[in-house]
Amino acid sequence: MARIFDHGHKSTLALRRRKGFLLQQIDVPADLLRASVVERVGRCGKATCRCHHGGAMHGPFYYLTQCLAVGKMNKFLLKTEEQQMSARVGVEHFHVLQEQMEELSQINAELLRRGERLLPE
């Protein structure tokens, strides 16, 4: 669900200024990732291992998961700490961009509702 920005009570001038600010801020990060990093612990295949007898589980392991379509998930192990860090940063960069685009979209919807132009003349 999108975050709701409360723009309805702002003046059209204030909305246009906020829009200008957002357009200056928006930059597509080269490392963006629309994905999640998930942490898992698990049991191994050895029946005699501690993990099957109340001992500590293996892990944590970190996976990148990316939903491509309903029921179609791209998922793989992030083996190194560098991969894990790159994934976390890329996911964060995606969320920042997504939030900025969402706010821009909501401002544009409000401007349209007021009968304003969305593009400069």
Binding site for Zn ion (CB under 5 A): 44, 49, 51
Residue-wise over 54-63: b if at least 16 C-beta within 10 A, else e? eeeeeeeebb
Nearer to Zn ion among residue 49 and residue 67 (C-beta): 49
Nearest residue relative to Zn ion (C-beta): 49
Nearer to Zn ion among residue 11 and residue 48 (C-beta): 48
CB of 75 to Zn ion, least distance (A): 21
CB of 92 to Zn ion, least distance (A): 33
Residue 18 identity (one-letter amino acid): R
Do 15 and 103 touch, CB atoms closer than 8 A? no
CB of 88 to Zn ion, least distance (A): 27
88 φ, ψ to 5°? Answer: -60, -45
